[in-house]
Amino acid sequence: MDVFELHRGDSPLILSMPHSGVELPPGLASRFHAHAVALPDTDWHIPRLYDFATGLDATIIRANYSRYVIDLNRPPSGESLYPGQATTDLCPTTTFGGDPLYEKGEEPSDAQIAKRRENYWEPYHLAIANEIKRVKAAHGYAVLYDCHSIASEVPRLFEGTLPVLNLGTAKSTSCDPVIERLVAKALSESEFNSVLNGRFVGGYITRNYGQPGDGVHAVQMEIGQDAYMNRGPGYQYREDRAESLRDVLKTLLLALISWRPN
């Protein structure tokens, strides 16, 4: 299994999907507790939710392996992106709810973490960097849209129910201010509740690659999963819920594609 799937488009827009993968390397599942084998913290159905993006000529980079192998949206050093708040590590050892992933004594060693970083993290980020370079060469700039979703209620991570649409711009530092206003306006006009730079301001991908002064503009979209799927057994996609959400997401991506720097 390849580390990621790449679809190249000719527009300025690049979509990253770092947490939608469900593959595990051989032998890893046997080290997990039974509840972890179901991969509950996956960004479920993100490729399906955004499958219209190929028709918009966007570039799409989609991870194949689970975030439980290694979290592609964390810095390689493993430092926390949210100091003082609950979160998970570069190679997670707990679920979002705080339950252990691994059977006792089966947690990854430092050497295993380094190997996962080499085998999975580095190729994915090399792909992002290469696609940004290609798109910038063609257009003079690039827009990176990092696609995420999460259970709408995770008491360990946030209180109450998460808004459906959570836009992160690293506290207004990862993109041109016009992009932030453009997307925030579209969100405010949609039927879904939304927030700008709330609990999720953007992970490593948004913060690292979003360099507006260098012509690279990045945003993160975290979606509350109740808006398009069931969280019960099987994590079923709900077309009846997803249709309206997809319309909003398409509007957002079209706005990003049509934007031009001054």
The arithmetic mean of pLDDT across residues 186-207, rounded, is 96
* pLDDT at position 145 over 90: yes
Span 15-29, pLDDT tens digits = 999 999 999 999 999
Q: Which of 153, 241, 168, 156 is nearest to 199 (CA)?
A: 168
- Is the CA virtual torsion 137, 138, 141, 143 positive or negative? negative
* pLDDT at position 85 over 90: no
Rounded CA separation 256/244 (Å): 19
* pLDDT at position 42 over 90: yes
Q: Structural domain boundaries of the chain?
A: 4-258
* pLDDT at position 84 over 90: no
* pLDDT at position 232 over 90: no
| Neighbour count for residue 46 (Cβ, 10 Å) | 23
Indicate the SS3 state at residue 238: coil
Residue whose structure tokens are 């990045």: 218
Q: Mean pLDDT over all residues of the chain?
A: 97
| Neighbour count for residue 89 (Cβ, 10 Å) | 15
pLDDT at site 83: 84
Residue 139 neighbours by CB under 8 Å, 6+ apart: 12
Higher pLDDT pick, 80 / 18: 18
pLDDT at site 87: 85
Rounded to two decimals, the pTM is 0.97
Rounded CA separation 81/130 (Å): 24
Rounded CA separation 145/218 (Å): 6
* pLDDT at position 193 over 90: yes
Domain 4-258, CATH 3.40.630.40 — does that match?
yes
Which tokens in the block code for residue 47? 């490729």
Span 94-142, pLDDT tens digits = 999 999 999 999 999 999 999 999 999 999 999 999 999 999 999 999 9
